Structures are given as C-alpha cells and as structure tokens.
Structure 1
Amino acid sequence: MAEAYSGLVAATVRSLIVYPIKSCQGISLRRVPISSTGFRWDRQWLVVNSKGRAYTQRVEPRLALVGVELPSEAFSENWKPDKSSYLVIKAPGMSDLKVPLIRPTKTVDGVSVWEWSGSAVDEGAAAAEWFTSYLGKPSRLVRFNDASEVRNVDSNYAQGYKVMFADGYPFLLVSQGSMDALNSLLKEPVPVNRFRPNILVDGCEPFMEDVWAEIRINESTFRGVKLCSRCKVPTINQETAVAGPEPMETLLTFRSDKDLRQKNKSQKGKMYFGQNMVCSDSLNKGTGKMIKVGDPVFVLRTVASANDAPA
C-alpha cells in the first residue's frame, strides 16, 4: 500500500475551514494562507471564565451556535487590518458583536487552555458582557498574545511547531471517504462539522489519511504527526448544541485503539478519526503560501497501517 500511493494524486481538497474563536463555528473558504501557527486566524481567540480557564464545547456546548465573520480580504496575502476591520460575532437571541481586529493593548495573565498558561490580550468590556450574557456566567474574550507568548506542540510528535489556542496541532485533516464510511453505519448521518477539520479531502478510500506520513498540497508539504483521538465534541449537534450518543458509539466499534492499534499494549479506550498535521512552511513564520479548494493532494510517504502511525 505504501508503494502504490507514493507520489501519486490520492485526493483533492474539498473544503478548507478556519475557526477564529476556539469551539465556535468555522468559516469555510476557497483559499487560505498558511501562517506560523496553522491557517491564518485559526483559533486566535478564546472564551474564558472568571479564572481565565478556557471554555470549550465540552462544557459549554452552546458555543457551537456562535457564528463568526471576518472581512473576506482578511485571507488575502499580506493583508493587515485597519480601524474599520472587525471580527463579527453572532448567536441566537443576541445582537451582533463587533470586535476590532486592530490589537488592543490590555493584557491579562493566567489564561489557560489544557496544559498551557500564559498572558493573552483582553478584548474588552463589551465582548465580556456579550459572552457573559450569552453563556449566563462570567466570561471574557481574549486573543492569543503572539508578541510575547509561544505555545509549542508536543515535541514527542513534532519539533519546533506551534499553535495559538488549537487543542494541540496546527491542522486537522479528514477525508470525505471516512465520513461516508461512518455515515453508512449510522441511522442518522452526521455532517463533517461534528469533527471540526481544517482540511477536508475527497477522492481517497476511507481512512487512508491514517497512513499519510507526508503529503503535498500546492507547494506546501504537510506531515501527519498523530492520529486524532476524539473527545465528546463529535456527539454535539452543531446546529442545536444538543449532545447524543452518536457518532461515538459507532466509532468505538471499529475505530478504537483496541481495533486499530493491536501492537500497542497501552490501550486506553481512545477512538481515532482524522490525522493531526504540521506544515513545513510554518517553521518559516509562515510564507504566505496558500492552499485552495480543488488542489490535488500528493502522497509522498506513508506508513503500512494505522497500527504504525503515531497516536
């Protein structure tokens, strides 16, 4: 299998999604520039509680209903915001919130997401009041403070790469073939937004992304560094914010570490869907390179099976 796919066009980019605010809705785009931390604007903002701890859909599923908009030109090469540039935030029952894209000056300490803590830029009273009203508990909106903070990915899987407020890695890739295989087993199919990928590809066999160790899209090289173990977020309907048992119950019947990683003796009941990736361009602080919908995906290097992929 590894030999057959080496250097061949294995798939095509079907969708590209950026999530400016962690755990809120994504923005689907035709083309996206690569930055030093993933796609430009991805997970640059975070909603936190009164102690600075991250809110995510795991504990606040209503974040799924929060929509975000950025100026279309914000994804153009070398674009910089001015005083008339805003992140627009929308949610049911709420008036629109406009957050200036020009960076505010106030920083706050003690912001934390998973294992990381540091300072962040506070987006001010209006944003705090909006999210406090929407969630019904003290909340603030903060922006990653890239002027002074660095959040590195796990060096056991990738050296030198960094993210803003993403869970762990700059990119998550999922294939439509995998989605179709899963949905064929479900009584009610689920959309791909349950899995929150950055890159959705089409044209390959189900779960081929498991074995992609290195791929090329346009002029950029991506490396598969870790199978994505899934939390409860895929059980949350992104249109209603209501959680249910699926698709996790079904995935656990054929995508658990017990099924996929029989050589690994430290099985912990994890379930995998999608591949976490890094891009070599990000090591150069982002080159302004773009990938776009319709780009072919060339597979340069594979492993033999999911059992041999890092996880």
Structure 2
Amino acid sequence: MSALYVVKEIYIYPIKSLAGISCKSALAEEMGFENDRRWMLINTENLHVTQREYPVMSQFYPQISDGKISISFEDHKHEFSIDEHLPNKIETNVWDDKSDVFEVNETTSKWFSDRLGFECKLVKILKNGDRKHESSKSKEIFNVSLADGYPYLLVGTESLDFLNEKLDEKITVKRFRPNIVISTKIAHEEDDFKDFRIGEVEFRNIKPCGRCIMVNNDPQKAIVKKEPLKTLSKYRNVNNSVLFGTNIVSLNSGTIHVDDEVVF
C-alpha cells in the first residue's frame, strides 16, 4: 500500500523573488533549505525589491554548480561565488524584520542594475541569527533567511487541483513558490497539520500563508493578471487574508528527498 502523503517536489529560491530551482533533495536548516533565499536585491534606500514591483524578476533563472551561482536573463549570463561578499555590513529590513546583509560584489550589483534598469545591489545574509521573525500567531521568534516570513512553505497537490478546477486558465504550483509539495487527498488539509517528519527532519506547522498580488504574476511571461487571487479570494478569504499553502519550520537539520514519506 502506497503512502498517503509523499514529497512530490522540492524547490529552493537562492535569490529572493527570482526564479526557483527544482531539486531532488535538499538540506533543511533552521533558516530554510541550504542556499534558499540567502540573497536578495536592494535598492538605493536599502529596501528589498521583489516581483510585486518588478514582475520581470521572474525571468532571472539561477543555477548552482561547483560553488557558484549562475544567473540567466534573456541572452545575458552572470555568475558569482556562493561564498563571496564585501566586508561592510548593510542594515536592511525584510518587511518589519531588521536584517544584517553584505553586498556580494560591485560587478554583480552592476549586472543586475543594468538588466533591471535601476540601481540595486545583490546582498547576502551570512549566518543564522542575522534576521529574526516573530510569529504573529504563536509569538515565537524564529531565525529566518530573507524569505517573506518563514523558512519553508508547504503546499498539498489537492489544493492546487481544487483551485485549477475553478480557473479557465490552469496554473502550476510555481505561482505559489513552495519549498515542499506533497501529495494530498483533501484540498488545504495541510493547513491543519501539526508536527510531522520527512526523511531525517522534524517539521512544525506554524500557520497558513496569506497570499499577495505576486501570485498573479505568470512567472514564465512576467505578465500580471487577475488570477488566481480573484478566484481564491472567493473561498479562501479568512480575516481579509487570502490563504494558500502553509508556513512551516524545521526542528532539526537533515536532508529530505523527493518521494520521501510524510510521517505524523
């Protein structure tokens, strides 16, 4: 008899708001998967920039190999070392959370500035504890990377299938930028998960994820439409927050793989 809940897909997003990378396995750490949202772009006011303002960011495709991150955008390519950064600390915020980051290098910042058409810097968070996030629900404080709020986003397959039944133009799970996609039988049942284990790693569900206009950006075309947020808001609006997927944290470090069973 096959397991009811199985990992179907794993994603990391090395640079906040750029395209993700599909993985067969990933090392889970307190801050999130290894190399997941450890980098982000900031403007001249040291504020982070995302697809919300610049949908074209979805067209930048990263890859990781031999200790380097390479970025492809249209016919342009650039790469930098995972470990490199300049010595001067920059104080920035990810929403309400203060974070210490460091510019990768001036050449990389100029490459992104030239492609995007405005001055920006690529920065990196170096270590656990350089950004802390307080849960609005549990009031716990978590060490996180540069993700919007929590280290991991979990989505069940049936949640997407249920939504797609209502949409004229079907979408993929990439709209929601999950870290872990698992097979489910009931739409949004992942909202009610508590503690569970995948492979070597114990996870805890914190709260369902409120979604923003960014899910309306078609990542393959960088075109913002009205869906799926319009349809989701009709049946997933809770206290003026449109929910899809759930925010989770890891309780220990370890590796998870596609096809791992989810154990409760």
TM-score interval w.r.t. the shorter chain?
over 0.9
The number of residues matched between the two structures is: 263
1:157 and 1:70 mapped to 2: Cα distance? 35
Is 2:114 the counterpart of 1:133?
yes
Runs of 4+ in 1 over 6 A off after TM superposition: none
- Counterpart in the other structure of 1:81: none
Structure 2: gaps spanning 5 or more residues:
none
Is 2:127 the counterpart of 1:146?
yes
- Counterpart in the other structure of 2:29: 35
- Indicate which of 277, 281, 286 corresponds to 2:248: 277
Q: Which structure dedicates a bigger proportion of its chain to strand? A: 2
Q: Is the 8 A contact 1:158 1:225 kept in 2?
A: no
| Pairwise CA distance, 1:23 | 0.3
Higher mean C-alpha displacement, 147-156 vs 218-227: 147-156
SS in 1 for 2:215: helix
- Counterpart in the other structure of 1:161: 142
- Indicate which of 213, 226, 240 corresponds to 2:194: 213
- Counterpart in the other structure of 2:73: 91
Residues 206 and 120 of structure 1, relative CA distance in 2, 3 Å threshold = same
Structure 1: gaps spanning 5 or more residues:
1-7, 72-83, 258-266, 301-311
1:296 and 1:199 mapped to 2: Cα distance? 12
Percent of matched pairs sharing the same residue = 29
Q: TM-score, normalised on structure 2?
A: 0.94
Matches within 5 A, 1:289-304: 289-298=254-263, 300=264
Which of these two proteins has the greater Rg computed from alpha carbons? 1
- Counterpart in the other structure of 1:59: 53
Give the partner amino acid of 2:255: M
| Pairwise CA distance, 1:219 | 2.8
Q: Is the 8 A contact 1:22 1:166 kept in 2?
A: yes
2:150 and 2:192 mapped to 1: Cα distance? 17
Give the partner amino acid of 1:128: S
Q: Is the 8 A contact 1:171 1:278 kept in 2?
A: yes
1:235 and 1:291 mapped to 2: Cα distance? 30
Output the aligned Cα RMSD: 1.8
SS in 2 for 1:70: strand
1:297 and 1:102 mapped to 2: Cα distance? 33
Q: TM-score, normalised on structure 1?
A: 0.80
Higher mean C-alpha displacement, 242-251 vs 145-154: 145-154
| Pairwise CA distance, 1:214 | 1.8
| Pairwise CA distance, 1:164 | 1.1
